[in-house]
């Protein structure tokens, strides 16, 4: 069920009405409704995969209970590794089995040997990477005694399958979201209004910006040899805004819907394209995933506490694993390695924490230095996105080769001026609202007629520029 579908616009008000009709004093009944609604929401794609979510919930709930009953180190380690191996095993089978088989066959073929191993016709369950990491965070935090194991299985099921963020995040930590299922929740009008406002902005980003950029990005990427370098650069630009508005739009909708039900989810994006270096970019992009890898992989590996070799090793591990998390293709691994190369000089020079404040805080315009830093960081990101979008490594290198040719300075062959104007409107709005959690959070400074006029403008633009409905990009991850 897509957020931007008719089915969801029927589903959400029904669940919302029943949820608050029950009332905050009947927490268990509310949690049961959330769990049932979440299973209906997920089962709308393919009900067969509901068994995977249920199994993950049963597994990690049981492991949490068992961890709470033993202090013996060997038993606790066995329980933790059971959770890790089973969860990662399921993720690995569904997402990476064919990739490993194909890579193995190709390797043997390269050395003149033929292997007779067949791939399987495996359907990737939507959002498996997200809810797998969410349940793992529970097992790891209980093991590290950062969280008491819950005895409320219904509440735990609701935590694992919480429908607003189930299939594309944010990846919630058990320490943040799970306790919210055990406390009384009250309807808060101000939070609900703020939530609806964030939903509206998320839908605008998805429907108007992401889906329309996708149209032209697909045309250019799918037939890149027919276009000159300047047009290919424009195609990369379209994809950069497609993936940002698609994914951050989903996060905005998820966070906003959660507020309607009295839940607070973690922020997932913080205006990453206004970053002044790559370290700042990764503090602002897909925050829930980057912090997950930092806390559960990078720091346990030693982080940046060791010598030069350890710093380099850990940096490459964290970025390559992050790339591989996104998909079973060498393009994602190269994308991760390229970002490690971008990030490493800052880490080694101890400059990865230079830009932690808000760019041009309290000002309408950045300085020339800040503008240059943002432009350079965005350009590096743009090059990396080519690998993320390309169908294969060969496709990515061919695309880049055609960009950096003499035709880079030729006239653009595909120039959709209307979409570029919409992008300009979007960038200006994001820039002016960069001090908020999302771009239009602080729109209350406008008087009511102006504010409602802006809301109406967004709605009119959504209806005017609704094209072919596109699935959210991160559903495939």
pLDDT tens by residue, the chain, 477 residues: 778 788 988 999 999 999 999 876 789 999 999 999 999 999 888 888 899 999 999 999 999 999 999 999 999 999 999 999 999 998 888 887 766 666 666 665 656 666 667 666 667 778 888 889 999 999 999 999 999 999 999 999 999 999 999 888 799 999 999 999 999 988 999 999 999 999 999 999 999 999 999 999 999 999 999 999 999 999 999 999 999 999 999 999 999 999 999 999 999 999 999 999 999 999 999 999 999 999 999 999 888 787 888 889 999 999 999 998 888 889 999 999 999 999 999 998 889 999 999 999 989 999 999 999 999 999 999 999 999 999 999 999 999 999 999 999 999 888 888 999 999 999 999 999 999 999 999 888 888 899 999 999 999 999 998 866 666 776 666
* Domain end point (choices 187, 213, 237): 187
How far separated are the first and last CA of the chain, in Å rounded?
16
- Residue 169 is classified by DSSP as -
Instruction: Mark 245-265 as b/e (b = at least 16 C-beta within 10 Å).
Output: bbbbbbbbbbbbbbbbbbbeb
* Domain end point (choices 137, 156, 187): 187
153: Cβ contacts below 8 Å, ≥ 6 apart: 57, 61
User: What's the CA gap between 31 and 158, in Å, rounded?
Assistant: 6
Q: Verify that 81 and 227 share a domain, yes or no.
A: no
pLDDT tens for residues 154-194? Answer: 999 999 999 999 888 799 999 999 999 999 988 999 999 99
Q: Verify that 81 and 212 share a domain, yes or no.
A: no
Nearest CA to 93 out of 51, 65, 122, 52 is that of 122
pTM of the model: 0.92
Active-site pick, 224, 286, 326, 402: 326
Q: Verify that 359 and 429 share a domain, yes or no.
A: yes
For the chain, what is the domain count? 2
Q: Verify that 270 and 171 share a domain, yes or no.
A: no
* Phi/psi at 6 (5° precision): -65, -40
> Domain for residue 97, yes or no?
yes
CB neighbourhood size of 430 (10 A): 21
Q: Verify that 215 and 183 share a domain, yes or no.
A: no
In contact, 21 and 124? CB cutoff 8 Å: no
> Domain for residue 298, yes or no?
no
> Domain for residue 76, yes or no?
yes
Instruction: Mark 308-345 as b/e (b = at least 16 C-beta within 10 Å).
Output: eeebeebbbbbbbebbbbbbbbbbbbbbbbbbbebbbe
CA-to-CA dists, residue 448 to 38, 218, 452, 453, angstroms: 35, 40, 6, 8
Instruction: Mark 20-33 as b/e (b = at least 16 C-beta within 10 Å).
Output: bebeeeebeebbbb
Q: Verify that 447 and 427 share a domain, yes or no.
A: yes
> Domain for residue 104, yes or no?
yes
> Domain for residue 75, yes or no?
yes
For the record, the structure tokens of 452 come out as 């409602």
Q: Verify that 272 and 164 share a domain, yes or no.
A: no
Residue 286 falls in the annotated catalytic set:
no
* Domain end point (choices 187, 205, 240): 187
> Domain for residue 329, yes or no?
no
Which residue range forms the structural domain that includes residue 108? 6-112+126-187
Q: Verify that 203 and 148 share a domain, yes or no.
A: no
Coil, strand, or helix at residue 467? coil
Long-range residue pairs from 72-79, CB within 8 A, at least 24 positions apart, any chain: 76/143, 79/139, 79/143
In contact, 248 and 433? CB cutoff 8 Å: no
Q: Verify that 164 and 246 share a domain, yes or no.
A: no
Nearest CA to 42 out of 14, 5, 2 is that of 2
Q: Verify that 38 and 146 share a domain, yes or no.
A: yes
pLDDT tens for residues 268-297? Answer: 999 999 999 999 999 999 999 999 999 999
User: What's the CA gap between 93 and 122, in Å, rounded?
Assistant: 9
> Domain for residue 335, yes or no?
no
User: What's the CA gap between 326 and 315, in Å, rounded?
Assistant: 17
Q: Verify that 195 and 183 share a domain, yes or no.
A: no
Go through the chain and tell me how many residues it has.
477
Q: Verify that 231 and 158 share a domain, yes or no.
A: no
């Amino acid at each position: 069920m897509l957020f931007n579908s008719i089915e969801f616009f029927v589903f959400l008000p029904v669940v919302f009405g029943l949820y608050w009709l029950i009332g905050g004093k009947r927490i268990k009944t509310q949690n049961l409704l959330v769990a049932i609604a979440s299973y209906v929401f997920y089962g709308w794609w393919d009900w067969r995969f509901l068994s995977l979510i249920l199994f993950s919930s049963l597994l990690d709930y049981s492991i949490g209970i068992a961890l709470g009953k033993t202090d013996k180190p060997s038993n606790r380690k066995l329980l933790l590794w059971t959770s890790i191996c089973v969860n990662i095993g399921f993720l690995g089978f569904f997402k990476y089995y064919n990739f490993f088989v194909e890579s193995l066959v190709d390797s043997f073929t390269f050395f003149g040997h033929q292997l007779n191993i067949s791939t399987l016709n495996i359907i990737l369950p939507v959002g498996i990477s997200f809810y797998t990491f969410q349940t793992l965070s529970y097992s790891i935090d209980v093991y590290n005694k950062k969280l008491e194991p819950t005895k409320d299985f219904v509440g735990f099921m609701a935590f694992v399958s919480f429908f607003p963020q189930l299939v594309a995040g944010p990846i919630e930590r058990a320490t943040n979201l799970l306790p919210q299922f055990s406390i009384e929740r009250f309807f808060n009008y101000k939070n609900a209004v703020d939530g609806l406002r964030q939903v509206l902005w998320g839908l605008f980003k998805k429907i108007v910006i992401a889906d329309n950029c996708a149209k032209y990005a697909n045309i250019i990427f799918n037939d890149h040899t027919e276009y000159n370098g300047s047009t290919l650069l424009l195609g990369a630009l379209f994809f950069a805004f497609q993936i940002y508005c698609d994914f951050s739009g989903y996060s905005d909708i998820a966070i906003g819907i959660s507020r309607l039900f009295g839940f607070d989810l973690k922020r997932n994006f913080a205006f990453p394209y206004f970053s002044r270096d790559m370290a700042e970019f990764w503090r602002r992009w897909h925050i829930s995933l980057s912090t997950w890898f930092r806390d559960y992989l990078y720091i346990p590996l030693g982080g940046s506490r060791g010598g030069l070799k350890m710093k380099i090793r850990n940096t490459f591990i964290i970025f390559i694993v992050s790339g591989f998390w996104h998909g079973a293709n060498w393009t994602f691994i190269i994308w991760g390695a390229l970002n490690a190369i971008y990030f490493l000089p800052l880490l080694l020079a101890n400059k990865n924490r230079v830009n932690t404040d808000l760019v041009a805080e309290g000002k309408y315009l950045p300085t020339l230095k800040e503008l240059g830093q943002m432009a350079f960081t965005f350009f590096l990101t743009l090059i990396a996105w080519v690998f993320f979008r390309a169908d294969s490594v060969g496709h990515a290198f061919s695309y880049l080769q055609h960009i950096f040719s003499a035709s880079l300075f030729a006239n653009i062959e595909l120039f959709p001026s209307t979409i570029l104007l919409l992008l300009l409107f979007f960038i200006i709005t994001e820039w002016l609202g960069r001090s908020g959690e999302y771009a239009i959070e602080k729109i209350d400074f406008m008087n009511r007629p102006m504010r409602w006029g802006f809301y109406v403008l967004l709605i009119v633009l959504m209806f005017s520029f609704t094209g072919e409905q596109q699935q959210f990009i991160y559903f495939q991850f």
